[in-house]
Amino acid sequence: MSIRIINATLPSGKRADFTIDRGVFTDASSADRTIDASGLQALPGLVDLHAHLREPGFEQSETVLSGSRAAAMGGFTAVFAMANTMPVQDTAGVVEQVQSLGDTHGFATVRPIGAVTEGLGGTKLSEIGAMANSRARVRVFSDDGKCVHNALLMRRALEYVKTFDGVVAQHAQEPTLTVDAQMNEGAVSSELGLAGWPAVAEESIIARDVLLAEHVGARLHICHLSTAGSVDVIRWAKARGIAVTAEVTPHHLLLTDELVRGYDARFKVNPPLRRDEDVRALRAALADGTIDIVATDHAPHPPEAKECSWAEAAFGMVGLESALNVVQEAVVDTGHLTWADVARVFSQTPAHIGRLNGYDAPFTPGSAANLVLIDPSARSTFSTESLRGKSTNSPYLGRSLPGRVMNTIHNGYETVRDGDVVDSDEVAHSARLAAGESHHA
């Protein structure tokens, strides 16, 4: 089915009409279906470089199907799935399985991230070359959830991925400085008597790794930057010409460690929520380009992992469905970023870091039709009704947030229509048709 979209506002601010047919934008002036996008902001489909889809192994929390449905609801058309599954994504077979599940379900392009070390054990490199040469063509490798803390192993991983233009995405956490850590180390942790996670545990690993990346000449990506000091290190490294990129999560752009006072485990996350001055530094760094992208660190957990004491609760929060709303509240409505900036940090640059094709020239004839239409003037209370994944450990339940995703279009077909996800069978059918058209193109 071809789709005509009229009166949409592009990231540049200009109004435009465009048509989608056979998975790409065209110059045609008519179509089978027309969407009146008056008052809606068009963005290229969002790309999440950092999500946990939990399958295989932890399907009670999330599956590739439920996670990619959640992604579509949030405006994403591509998701990079972290490696901490069971079995771990450390072989060609497992990464091909994850990618195949994403292709079959069709809600988003799912690209697996390969583990840096076998079983995330931190002692031996995984089958990096086999994953890179597999049908999944893995280009991003990470032990996220755990830090590659052995410096020699990190150096070898950087040397390996350099051979095929891959990137190592580091979870920067010096483990000896964060033993039993429960929250950000500072005034609040002292008052509450909780073991602190000091900023230097993140900053020291980043400092070490940017120097290793410079020595090797390889690409390094830093996951979920959370402190003002980390921003300083990244800024220094970029000024030195080191090939480092960095991401920030929506929650680190909005929430602070003051929220831990309520002992609500929905706010327990790794790295932890930081101070207000850190939040302000992260916003400024995203605005000036020191931080390259936004990524969700979507981390679903079953109720029993969160509905317990703070000390016993798991780290992590879901974020795919709320990400764009939070970004609008934290950095668009505050004047830090324009919608053109959002297109860059939430679509084009993460696609480029992950070497994902099809996001370089959005909305131009012949380019892949991945886009999202949002109503930035909408405002609503975020609730479990807003979620489409399996888990509900969102820190935003009951909070009023701006913006609403009205339509998400992936490879030319709708995955979200009129503000809700499209039926799974219809999406899978559309995905098969799109794959066939691509094959015969």
What tokens does 208 get?
A: 């070490």
User: Is 297 a known active-site residue?
Assistant: yes
Give the three-class secondary structure for 423: coil
Tokens of 182: 């429960």
CB 51 within 8 A of CB 80: yes
184 is in an annotated binding site: no
* Residue 53, annotated as binding a ligand: yes
Residue 49 CB-density burial (10 A; 0-12 exposed, 13-18 middle, 19+ buried): buried
The response to whether 315 counts as a known ligand-binding position is yes
Asked if residue 104 lies in contact with residue 427, where contact means CB atoms within 8 angstroms, the answer is no
| 293-294, strands of its sheet edge to edge | 140-141, 167-170, 219-222, 244-248, 293-294
Q: In the chain, what is the greatest distance between 2 CA atoms, to the nearest angstrom?
A: 65
- Is residue 34 within 8 A of residue 28, CB to CB? The reply is no
Q: Is 429 annotated to bind ligand? A: no
Length of the chain: 441
Which of 240, 197, 249, 201 lies closest to 220 in space, CA to CA?
240
Whether 301 has a binding-site annotation, put simply, is yes
d(CA 413, CA 107): 10
356: nearest Cα among 46, 139, 72, 70: 139
Query: Which is nearest to 60 in space by CA: 391, 424, 318, 392?
Result: 391
Q: What 3-state DSSP class applies to 207?
A: helix
Rounded CA-CA distance 153/165 in Å is 18
d(CA 285, CA 173): 20
Give dist(CA 41, CA 8) in Å, integer. 6
Residue 343's nearest CA partner among 75, 32, 36 is: 75
DSSP string, 114-154: BPSBGGG-SSSB--HHHHHHSTT---EE--TTS----HHHH
**Residue 320 annotated in ligand binding:** no
* Residue 54 annotated as lining a ligand binding site: yes
Catalytic residue among 297, 333, 341, 425: 297
Residues marked active site are found at 297
Binding-site members for Zn(2+) are 50, 52, 144, 171, 224, 297
Binding-site members are 50, 52-54, 84, 144, 171, 224, 270, 297, 301, 315-316
Binding-site members for substrate are 52-54, 84, 270, 301, 315-316
